[in-house]
Chains A and B, each alone.
Chain A
Amino acid sequence: MMRINKILTPLSIALLYAVFGSIWILYSDRLVASLSTDMEMLSQMQTYKGWFYVVITAIPLFLLIKAHQRLVLESAQLLQATEKKYEHLFLSNPHPNCVLDPETLGFILMNRKFIQTFGYSVRELNKHTIHHIISSKDHAKLSKVVNTTLTTGEQEEPIILRGELKNKSTISVELMFYEIRVQGQVSLLCQMRDVTAELLNREQVRELTEHLERTVDERTRQLSSVNEELESFTYSVSHDLRAPLRAIDGFSKAIAMDNRNHLTEESQEYFKRVRKASQRMSQLIDDMLRLSRITRASVAVKMVDLSIIASEVIATLDVCKSAIVTIEDDVMANADEGLMRILLNNLLSNAVKYSSNVETPEIHFGKKTLDGQDVYIVRDNGVGFNNADSTKIFKPFQRLHTESEFSGMGIGLATARRIVTRHGGEIWVDAQTGSGATFYFTIGFRLNN
């Protein structure tokens, strides 16, 4: 349709009509005259010929007008769509946009956001150039970027300048200039973005990060100095506390030996106790050192089968013949194998020890999922303890039973807790006097399936 309309311009239509009319006038009478000689008949045919002409010219006229009408309608729709696009792209663009005269840099068009951002009315802006809303400190930069755009047709990258609002406050705007043609005229489109909040946020984030880094550095320094102190403390404990104990033990042995004929049985017994006490203290020192060594030990994490470790640990323990030991298969953890062995040894040996007085001891190792996290379980049906003491027992040298009931130093669970802590996990216990204890622990390093 468009093609036909293009071809049939008003002039060509008029010409065609003129040619057709002329030919008709020149030849139609001759044609009619050749058909008949009867005058009455001829006059009647002339009338038909006239009607025929009217009809034959009315039809193309009708078609052409109709096509024209459609074209006009389509153009109107196109215009409407263009206006809508303009509305979306420019007027209701969420960022401040304006069109400038490329020579004077005076404002030609501003969108709503632009008016809203800078606070000036359209009339006020029309009297000014873009310099009016950019801080004078940035005018040199502005000129440079405008010149680049006008010579090369595009700006390389957005530039951030200080914008000045009507109310005298300053904002940061990111500007991008484009050379555009509006109705054949070269204009400058200036797209802006208010980046004040963004820059402020970025600055705050930078400050926070710096502060955080400083804090971490400081803490790391503190921590390493504490670690150093701990190291030297451990060293002196290891070395200096043992020497006096050796003297106590050795010299009491010497006195007892040298005077074995003069000492009463009671005194001999007291010397034995002195030696036993010093040896126990030496054992305590060793346990304390072992505990501190676990704190310092490096944790080499890998996939570990806790079921296998638990079985191996059980095999080394003195388990009653009547005991029922259940170990779930394929209990996996992402952890340090050596430390897991110490952990399970401490928990399982406790389970064996504290259930040894029960007729049928039951010891269980397994896993369950709580809130999407793997929780490992060591359970026994032994003497248990009052649940009120459940946090106490993880402290070093805390014992709930006398040495004569159950032997031990009270270091096993403290060690267990340290190991779990080193793995970013938690350990807790649920117990009841007379009906056993259930230990739960988690490992912070997730299994990657």
Chain B
Amino acid sequence: MNTNLSKYIMLVDDNQDDVDLTIMALKHNQIANEVKVAFNGQEAVDMLLNDDDAPLPAVILLDINMPKLNGLETLKILRSHERTRTVPVVILTSSQEEQDLLAGYRSGANSYIKKPVDFENFTEAIRQLGMYWLALNELP
């Protein structure tokens, strides 16, 4: 049994609608992992780095465009700390800009997914994402 299934998923997104839709899509796909939400990058950094004993998530779903600390800055901070260097980070964003895609991978993202507008497509994207990062992927 993959230990990822017992770990939580961290969702970093400033848009309550997107947060709810993502949780809805996770539920829809019977992904039962606990979901912790950070509403901006700073919150995520605080949650992950302030307490060295706090458990790490199986995967971080990170939006790019956020107030205070945006997704790319957040990612750079996480990658610069030993504790969070290897945590899988999936950029989940509305942006289709080539520059964001490139910057995302350069900052150390493991994956880059564009959120589709169509809810069915969005649910499918979340299903595959959950399948891969929670069931198939092995962590160090």
Contacts and interface: CB of A to CB of B under 8 A. Distances in A.
Contact of B97 (A238, A246, A250, A286): A238
Given A246-B115, A246-B117, 14 more contacts: A235-B97, A238-B97, A239-B93, A239-B94, A239-B95, A243-B94, A244-B17, A250-B21, A250-B24, A253-B119, A253-B120, A275-B118, A279-B118, A282-B117
29 contacts: A235-B97, A238-B94, A238-B95, A238-B96, A239-B64, A239-B93, A239-B94, A240-B94, A243-B17, A243-B18, A243-B94, A244-B17, A246-B18, A246-B115, A246-B117, A246-B122, A247-B18, A247-B21, A250-B24, A250-B122, A251-B17, A253-B119, A254-B24, A275-B118, A278-B117, A279-B117, A279-B118, A286-B96, A289-B96
In this complex, the interface size class of chain A, counting residues with CB under 8 Å from chain B, is 20 to 34
Contact of B117 (A240, A249, A289): A249
A173 B24 CA distance: 89
Nearest to A290: B96
B6 interface: no
B4 interface: no
Contact of A242 (B21, B115, B119, B120): B115
Interface of B: 15, 17-18, 21, 24, 64-65, 93-97, 115-120, 122
A245 B117 contact: yes
B134 to A, nearest CB: 21
B122 to A, nearest CB: 7
Nearest to A241: B94
A234 B119 CA distance: 23
Interface in A321-358: none
Contacts of B18: 243, 246-247
Contacts of A279: 117-118
Contacts of B117: 242, 245-246, 249, 278-279, 282
Nearest to B21: A250
Given A239-B65, A243-B18, A254-B24, A249 B95 contact: no
A249 B119 contact: yes
A235 B101 CA distance: 13
Nearest to A283: B117
